[in-house]
A and B are shown apart, each in its own frame.
Chain A
Amino acid sequence: MKISDSELNEVSDDECSQLNIDININYKQFELAMNLPMPLKGITGIFGHSASGKSTLLRAIAGLEKNLSGDITLGKTNLVNTEQGNYLKPEVRQIGLVFQNSRLFEHLSVLGNLEYAVKRCKNRKLILNEVIELTELTTILEHHVHQLSGGQQQRVALARAILAEPKLLLLDEPLSALDQHSKIQLLKMMLNIQKQLNLPMLYVSHSLDELQQVCDTLLVLSQGKVVNFGNIHQVIHQLNNFGENALIHQQTSLSLPIKQFNNGHGLTVLALNAQQDIYLTSDKTFESQTQLRCFILASDISISLTEPSNSSIVNHLFGSIKQISYIKNKVLLTINCAAQEFFVTISAFSQQKLSLTCNQQVYLQFKASAVRTFIH
């Protein structure tokens, strides 16, 4: 896709690099209260369980949530300020939203749906055919909406939202109704589009795996309140220590450079630091990447006091225990391997047997298949 730099700047100039949200939304059964300045860069994930307020937040930003008090400002544009009586209607906010259920217009063809957005777009910097290619819709343009598969519908919805040339694109669980193959395809498409158009996105999902693959920043909501916001790996690691009512499966979230795509035995080698590597099962999709996002569940790592030898487990890392926390019958260990934190859960029984203490030097071991990527 050929887009000059000047056009890129038009689509997303500096003025919308920040989203300031200070709102209260009250319903009988549910309350959302948040005050957060969010720098918008790349794809920002919004994670939470159902009724955490994720979708309500997106609807508030888009202007679909009327029952709201407070202020939302995107860049220099005030979207809503209830004190001053400001309220920008959704049709003039220049914010796109891809819904879970694509919400395509059934009386129009695929092309008709795309043209609907183009006709009402003021900038028209994007070229229709290029977006059609980017979202791989060329062969189904004349199809009726009801002839499309779920994955195709979401691709049309994504293309339609982009063609309105929003300053910010909101994605409300766009993958949740799709099969694994379509999920991966759409996720890659979103990453590609984000980079090509430099379009900031807010991506709501209850699947941490999805978010871990594409988001740089993560906002975590629980029961209408902000739990955490920041770098995705750091936020995930902080969630590990959330206590008894765990929001996520405890895990180590990594973004590492690929050292060797295939070591001749079907394994890919990631460089953890100058001395230590991590091995995982190769996938042909890694070939085009230099950096890989992956995660290792804390329950998939075990601890050994001596360096394991004669083991089929390929990953052995050396580190020192930084923290030991007891959660019910389990023990969560935070272990530093050079600068990288790893999270390991062992049983209270094992802890008693090994009597681990802080600053103790231990070996972590995990199988290559325990290193997971969503795009696999």
Chain B
Amino acid sequence: MPAASTYKLSATRLNRLFLAGELSAVEITEAVLQRIAAAEPKVHAFLEATADRALERAKKLDSRRRGGDTELGALAGVPVAIKDNMCTDGVPTTCGSQILKDYVPPYDATVVERLQGAGALIVGKTNMDEFAMGSSGENSAFGATRNPWNQGRVPGGSSSGSAAAVAAEEVPLSLGSDTGGSVRQPAALCGVVGMKPTYGYVSRYGLVAFASSLDQIGPFARDVEDCARLFSVIAGPDRRDSTNAGRTPPALKFGGEPSLKGVKLGVPREYFAAGIDPEVKARLDEAIAQLKALGASVEDCSLPHTEHALAAYYIIAPAEASANLARFDGVKYGHRTANASGLLEMYGKTRAEGFGPEVKRRIMIGTYALSSGYYDAYYKKAQQVRTLVMRDFEAAFAQFDALVTPTSPIPAWGLGEKTDDPLTMYLADVCTIPINLAGVPALSVPCGFAGGLPVGMQLIGKHFDDHKLLQYAWAFEKVTNHAAARPSLEGGL
């Protein structure tokens, strides 16, 4: 196997080749690190490359394999990148923020432990919107990641680096986090598979919290099978997270004739409302036709409270965030201002210097929504709206196995295009936010292009039906093969 295209191989393939002794972990790692070095100037997906550690681990893996060890793991030999809001022991974890610029966690997130237990080779931490607040990657304190399909465009956010790294073939797999669409939306904009598992499937221990009741860690991959493999490694019980459901997803096997016979799909009309790009709509219509051709029955349906989900989210998420980010105060870790004569000044200046404008906006909205006299009108009201959104989904899932929508109403927009008005940016998440409020699983799978830019189709399922979504997505992928498309990164690398 020529080393030059090793980086193009899927995780499933790499794992098989490694276990068979056809490719060494060191070879794989070196190929990937080379690719990263070449692509990074154009993409800027990574904040930190952990090359030395990865090579160390790769050497150990190789030696174990040579020694006859067969329990090397479902991701043995596979390079993975991790969004920089997941703690990695001894490796800086910045959350894309100045306030944690030099912060090095003394522990690993559960997902990191699980990856390592499965033999994965963590090659770096990826760029993101600061504290996962953003939909374009432009809120990173360390420069925006670029969309590999068009470097003048945003990759989406907040898991911008993780999506771009996979799309640019820098790594076959990466982890992101999804609070209002932060895995699915960049997956759609970058033309890769991205998934938000059911809330409670994947442990949040070690994920720097943004909105505790909405956050979930999710996989990025270039195809569904790879995505499922990563999902099966990270999902499962963890006693360190009290919101973890303690469940292990059923094992998945892909193969045979792709078919969706007997599957009932619903298409909620609210997701195709005004504001959807006509090309995006066209791609979705084509995708739905494909789903029908596979044997699924597809029907129109309604999730009437969809339009209010955005408002509810923009109260609930900031409210929880305002409390979660209070710990960044210059006392125990992270940035502390150099100019303070007393504690109050220290708090105020540290946080003013350390947080970017979007983070400040959300902290303030959240604080306001919880403050005396406003709690009922904002926070409580939002949680009541959440109930209505959940009921919409419950009613839909009484009829359908899954729902089909666009992941993003528009394809990737230009860098700087929406940064003047925070509200416009928020509207980018209309299709993804309701899913987080309900805690249901959803994934985005590439379904074509709009003016040369990727379009994603979102599949939404009921709680703990993640494996079903993956099956449906796999069938769709098999007959459409959008996963084969790769960005050229302008200039033949």
Query: Does chain A bind chain B?
Result: no
Query: Which residues of A are at the interface with B, using a C-beta cutoff of 8 A?
Result: none
Which residues of B are interface residues toward A (Cβ below 8 A)? none
